[in-house]
Amino acid sequence: MYLLGVLFMAVAVAVSIALHEVGHLVPAKRFGVKVTQYMVGFGPTVWSRRRGETEYGVKAIPLGGYIRMIGMFPPRPQDEPGMLRDSTTGRFSQLMDQAREDSLREVRPGEEARVFYRLPVRQKLVIMLGGPVMNLVIAVVLLGGLFTLHGIAQLVPTVSTVSQCVRPTTATSSAPPSCAATDPVAPANAAGIRPGDLITSIGGRPVTSWDDVKRVVRASGGRQIDVVVQRAGATLSLRATPMLTRIPRVDRDGNLVTGPDGAVATEQGGFMGFTPTTAVVRQPVTAVPGLVWAQLAGTAGVMLRIPEKMVGVAQAAFGGGERDINGPVSIIGVGRVAGEVASGGIPGIGDGFGPTMAVLLSLVASLNLFLFVFNLVPLLPLDGGHVAGALWEGLKRQLARLRGLPNPGYVDVAKALPVAYSVSVVLLAMSALLIYADVVNPVKLTG
């Protein structure tokens, strides 16, 4: 099962990359650009076949993919069409000239109108955004299906446990579990609330989620409130008085608020002494956009903290520290997690075929969300770099038109190649570090 989980994730990654490139390929062909190659992976070619003017194939290193379009970079304005003057002496200038020459070498007589750089800006944007948008579509379809058909884990207003008493805040885990005579009875216990009770109304307000219960209890410290529950098919009306005490402070999203010293902040509020039940609840279709947006925002937040996270990865890899479960992982790390989920190596996650597949598909969806966000970074060689170049070209033309100036021509994206080479080196170094860390000190999802 472990190997099946790894294989499932490997196939899912390959399919995600292949569909990403399809997102570029289809609009490029639709707009008449000549595409000479469609490849999944990098390095030596393992298999390929030519269909028409395009070679389709798979390469040995499954860490990406690409399509090759003729005329990606325009010639310099001072050069004759299709010709380049001798390279200048600077190394970067030579690299840029070589890239332009390679870009135009595949342009045969009669194909001058089929080059990428001659496309209107809007068509360039459609082609370059096609790949990331394909990843977003995959993620939305998978997450939408998981949310509506399987559901998500939520705290529901069914009571799971009821405390017999309220223990002093100074009590430790080594204290005896039984209540002392001086310990006050927990308000929920005193009101007659029992495990398994479904709370339908509290404080005169209908309950649809555990947040409704928590909100009323927090605001009702020291005051008696009505609690309506369903128990064994019967409806019971009870009365409880939440204890006014210091409780952890939470933000609007329900997350604990910490102070500058890292300690959890507290505030005065009501306390009942019961806990909710966690259940997998199917979501309505109308809730899908908000849930997907929350996932997307979380992915973007992780992307913004990549430099900080990579420092933690390096410390864990070479210093033996604990890996951050919310930190980045390589394809090796994703495969290990998938294997552990499939083999039941993570208690409470993936118990049974349905829940296991739900977790694996959620991993695939998360991967595609990451590919969407990552490829929008406005730096070459990422898709976002070409998008930025096209937007800059369109902006320059609009400004020239408004000012009555001649058309400034095409933006020479080749000038950003030094940045592209630098970004590529950084990405390779990050990938190598993540792979090494995932081998010597992988992320542990269990204690």
Q: Give the residue numbers annotated as catalytic, written as ranges.
A: 21
Which residues are within 8 A (CB) of 320 and not within 5 positions of it... i.e. 6 or more apart? 441
CA distance 136 to 365: 9
How far apart (Å, rounded) are the C-alpha atoms in residues 447 and 437?
A: 18
Cα–Cα distance measured from residue 253 to residue 412, given in angstroms and rounded to the nearest whole number: 46
Nearest 10 degrees: Cα torsion 278, 282, 286, 288: 80
Nearest to 338 by CA among 357, 323, 322, 354: 357
Burial of 324 from C-beta contacts in 10 A (0-12 / 13-18 / 19+) = middle
Q: Which residues contact 259 (CB under 8 A, 6 or more apart)?
A: 265
Two tokens at 176? 């005896």
- CB neighbourhood size of 84 (10 A): 15
Structure tokens at 259: 């102070």
Which burial class, exposed, middle or buried, applies to 145 when counting CB atoms under 10 A from its CB (0-12, 13-18, 19+)? middle
Give the whole-angstrom CA distance, residue 333 versus residue 330: 5
Write down the residue that tokens 């792979």 correspond to. Answer: 435
